[in-house]
Amino acid sequence: MNKAVAKRGALRALGAMSGTSMDGVDAAVIETDGVAIFGFGESGYRAYSDKERAVLRAGMGHWHGDEVDAAAEVVTRAHCEALSEFEDIDLIGFHGQTLAHEPRGRGTLQVGDGIGLSQALGVPVVWDFRSDDVVMGGEGAPLAPFFHFACAKWIEAEEPLCFLNLGGVGNLTYIDPSFERPEIPGALVAFDTGPANAPVDDLMQGRFGLPMDKDGAVAREGTVETGALELFLSEPFFARMPPKSLDRNDFAEMIGLVRDLPDADAVATLTGMCAAGVVQGMEYCPKPPSRMLVTGGGRHNPVLMEMLRVALDCPVEPVEAFGLDGDMLEAQAFAYLAVRVARGLSTSCPGTTGVKALVGGGVLSAPHRGQAVKA
């Protein structure tokens, strides 16, 4: 193992995330021993160009072929550019780009060359975080809950609370901070709540040629169509007990439900569906949470945030209210998970992904070796 990874105590780890919104690469540094957070370092962002985003969209839903190869090349190049800006890094956590996710079918696919990235940057890279979890019967997602647990300890939370990530897909982590470790039964419950920003982004792209409903401006002018909302909530996914996860396109028919609505009503209805999925998911929390901390792009949408505040019985706040960075939390999570993988610690458990036993999923690639090894 690389000397920097083998050293005791905290590592300076760099995590990278390219999410289902496909807007770009988030990169962030944390200092951690894989258990506690000792500090947060610098961060950066590398946007995808319109051409690159089109390549990624073309690869969505594919498992192999030219589209997948082209997407992998874009992802690897963009990450190499983004991560090369950081110095004095001990370890990199590289999530890659999810193109397909069928945990009860063909598995899960995140593209990007972890070996090549390690060779190019001269730093050990942990990648392919999800595959082992799926092989062991898990959903392979969400994977951030162990980091959310560490964040709850960092902010010295004393009462149960939830972290809600609103990216392309929404996912929720319920945390009981009275437990010492995240893998102890009862410490965590985690699951995808339903579609979040992805359907709104797709509709905005299709109708306006815009990547998102910035500041909820379009949704604010519309009215939620209750019939479409009821059809949405009748989907079998919402009746399934967690853990459970989604692919970005699992609810693609949502666009069909609002196809004949005026623009503002269509966007408002899709936004309302996101909020409704979260509210439905709260039924699975073991206890009412003391608060909900929101991360991801959805927290910038005041219409969505107000929908959540009206519907939920606890304060709903962006994670910045507690000194965390909601734009970089996912990238920080994979930095944290990379250290856990390198040190033989688990990254998921039955309460987070439904995996049959504790799993420390990931492949560790060290530079100048030319091969990957299971961590």
Distance (Å, whole) CA 288 – CA 144: 21
Average pLDDT over every residue of 126-143: 94
Per-residue confidence (pLDDT) for residue 248, from 0 to 100 = 75
pLDDT beyond 80 at 5: no
Average pLDDT over every residue of 73-83: 98
pLDDT beyond 90 at 369: no
Per-residue confidence (pLDDT) for residue 303, from 0 to 100 = 98
The owner of tokens 């946007």 is 47
The owner of tokens 């169509």 is 225
Per-residue confidence (pLDDT) for residue 368, from 0 to 100 = 76
pLDDT beyond 80 at 183: yes
Residue 61 neighbours by CB under 8 Å, 6+ apart: 99, 100, 247, 249
Per-residue confidence (pLDDT) for residue 105, from 0 to 100 = 87
**Backbone phi, then psi, for 166, in 5-degree steps?**
-110, 85
Per-residue confidence (pLDDT) for residue 90, from 0 to 100 = 98
Its pTM stands at 0.93
* Lowest-confidence pick of 99-103, 121-125, 145-149, 314-318: 99-103
For the chain, give the percent of residues with pLDDT over 90.
87
User: Which residues in 184-224 belong to E strands, given as ranges?
Assistant: 188-195
In the β-sheet with 292-295, what is the strand arrangement from edge to edge?
188-195, 169-175, 161-166, 292-295, 316-318
Average pLDDT over every residue of 289-295: 98
pLDDT beyond 90 at 293: yes
pLDDT band per the 50, 70, 90 thresholds, residue 54? very high
Q: Own/partner pairs for 36-39, CB < 8 Å, 24+ apart?
A: 36/150, 36/153, 36/154, 37/150, 37/151, 37/153, 37/154, 37/336, 38/10, 39/10
Residue spans of the domains in the chain: they are: 3-141+333-374, 156-322
Per-residue confidence (pLDDT) for residue 250, from 0 to 100 = 80
Name the DSSP class of 95: E
pLDDT band per the 50, 70, 90 thresholds, residue 279? very high
pLDDT beyond 60 at 373: no
Q: How many residues comprise the chain?
A: 375
Mean pLDDT of all residues in the chain?
Answer: 94
Query: What are 13's two structure tokens?
Result: 């780890």
pLDDT band per the 50, 70, 90 thresholds, residue 144? very high
Supply the CATH classification number for the domain 3-141+333-374.
3.30.420.40
pLDDT band per the 50, 70, 90 thresholds, residue 370? very low
Highest mean pLDDT (candidates 64-73, 245-254, 365-374): 64-73
Per-residue confidence (pLDDT) for residue 179, from 0 to 100 = 98
For the chain, give the percent of residues with pLDDT over 70.
96
Neighbours of 131 (CB within 10 A): 17
pLDDT beyond 80 at 312: yes
Q: Is 348 left (phi over 0), alpha (psi -120 to 50) or beta?
A: beta
pLDDT band per the 50, 70, 90 thresholds, residue 6? low
pLDDT band per the 50, 70, 90 thresholds, residue 21? confident
Average pLDDT over every residue of 112-141: 96
* Lowest-confidence pick of 141-150, 166-175, 247-256: 247-256
SS3 assignment, position 350: helix
The CATH homologous superfamily of the domain defined by 156-322 = ATPase, nucleotide binding domain (3.30.420.40)
Q: Do domains 3-141+333-374 and 156-322 have the same CATH topology?
A: yes
Per-residue confidence (pLDDT) for residue 78, from 0 to 100 = 98
Average pLDDT over every residue of 14-41: 95
pLDDT beyond 80 at 9: yes
